[in-house]
Amino acid sequence: MAGWMESWRWGREYFDHVRPDVIRGLAPLRKKAETIPHPDLRAQALSSLDTKQFHCEGGGVFGGPSRDPSGHLLDFLLPYQTLCDYLDTVTDRGPSTDPDNLRLLHQSLLDAISPNGPFHDYYAHHPHQDDGGYIHDLITRCRHAIVRFPGYEAVQPTMERLVSLYINLQVFKHGPEAERVSQLQRWWNDECPSGWAIDWWEFAAATGSTLGLFALLNVAARPNPAPETVKTVTALYFPWVGALHILLDYFIDQDEDRAGGDLNFVTYYPSPQDAVRRIRVIYRQCVIRAASLSDASFHRYVIRGLLGFYLADPKVRKKPSTLALKLLASGGSVSFGVFLAAIMGRAP
């Protein structure tokens, strides 16, 4: 009962505060996107804001008043997640799969968490050049927010590691089509600790989540966070929560990715049934590992909320399946509550 009451409290906080704050906070970013001179870049920026706003809404749970009374986390999260989503749109349907282009564009994500670092010519290898300072503006907003976290120095090296992994993922999965899988497999062999017992596409999925960054900034909201806390939070979110997050994202996008010829990690399981079975195993790992944290109930809410949040997507509800219901049932009443709330929140 206590867990359900806590989840209800966070759910109410989300709808009363987080979601309205996210919508308000994205408005100036949209205004900036509307001024991008190049028509293709402008269209891609606006499209990412329209179709991927729910990424900011979902991550925003880390920026609720009970987690971040200062509001600094949303000040960082909104431009950072917007930058991620913009880059994903530019590279997913963009005119260039050149690895140098992909890496330089995504260098902006490292620059966004480096308050004293230089800016780069992010479009130097890209066919389209003039974004009217859009990337620079997003980076600047991130930097202004991140220096307000008193414990940031304690989490910065770990955040840089997670962002570097994220960049490698984007370079490999958006690079030349014939090389994508082999590069991802080599990368997994080089980077994945043997004790994790996860396959190459699960490791790749884990690197694609931004939730670990936001969880670490919650830790950095206080001065001098304990190294053990940083380590434990990191071990929960990478790879376990990150893998759950992105595998759910790919689970709901299978038809869309198949139509667009895009790489989808869930399709590398032997069957849809195997995919659901394995995602449930990863979910259970998340719940078990969250128990060692002092704020375990919040992290369990995030984990269970991911199931409800993603499975409430219209793409799933238009094509309901017993497999989706089985996934949703894994999280019990909390996941189902988030599922219903997300449907209501997304209704026009």
Decide: 305 and 335 in contact? Cβ < 8 Å: yes
Residue 142, pLDDT above cutoff 80: yes
The pLDDT value recorded for residue 4 is 57
Query: What is the arithmetic mean of pLDDT over 110-122?
Result: 97
CA distance 221 to 70: 9
Which band of pLDDT confidence, cut at 50, 70 and 90, is reported for residue 334?
A: confident
- Is the model's pLDDT at 344 over the cut of 80? no
What is the C-alpha to C-alpha distance for residues 246 and 279, in angstroms, rounded to an integer? 10
Share of the chain above pLDDT 70, in %: 95
What's this model's pTM, rounded to 2 decimal places? 0.94
User: Cα–Cα distance between 274 and 129 in angstroms, integer?
Assistant: 44
Per the prediction, the chain carries an average pLDDT of 92
Of 239-243, 302-306, 307-311, 317-321, minimum mean pLDDT range: 317-321
**Closest to 40 in 3D by CA, of 90, 115, 4:** 90
* Gap between the Cα atoms of 124 and 345, Å rounded: 40
CA angle, 317 then 319 then 321, to 5°: 95
Q: What is the tens place of the pLDDT at every residue in 40-95?
A: 999 999 999 999 998 999 999 999 888 888 889 999 999 999 999 999 999 986 77
Cα 210 vs. chain centroid, distance in angstroms? 4
**Distance in angstroms (rounded) separating the CA atoms of residues 143 and 165:** 20
Asked if the bond preceding 115 is cis, omega within 30° of 0, the reply is: no
- Residue 347 pLDDT > 90: no
pLDDT at 33: 98
pLDDT of 7 > 80? The answer is no
Between CA 55 and CA 13 the distance in angstroms is: 17
Query: 331, 301 in Cβ contact below 8 A?
Result: no
**Residue 5 confidence class, pLDDT cut points 50, 70, 90:** low
Structure confidence at residue 106 as a pLDDT band (50, 70, 90): very high
Whether the predicted pLDDT of 2 surpasses 60: no
**What's the CA gap between 300 and 61, in Å, rounded?**
12
Per-residue model confidence as pLDDT tens digits over 209-252: 999 999 999 999 999 999 999 999 999 999 999 999 999 999 99
Q: How confident is the model at residue 348 (pLDDT cuts 50, 70, 90)?
A: very low
Instruction: Please state, for a pLDDT cut of 90, what percent of the chain lies above it.
Output: 74
Distance separating alpha carbons of residues 115 and 68, to the nearest angstrom: 20
* Predicted local confidence at residue 195, as pLDDT: 84
pLDDT confidence of residue 194 = 83
Over 50: is that where the pLDDT of 1 sits? no
Mean pLDDT within 165-175: 95
Kindly state the average pLDDT of the residues 278-284.
97
For range 170-181, the mean pLDDT: 92
Burial class, 301, CB count within 10 angstroms (exposed 0-12 / middle 13-18 / buried 19+): buried
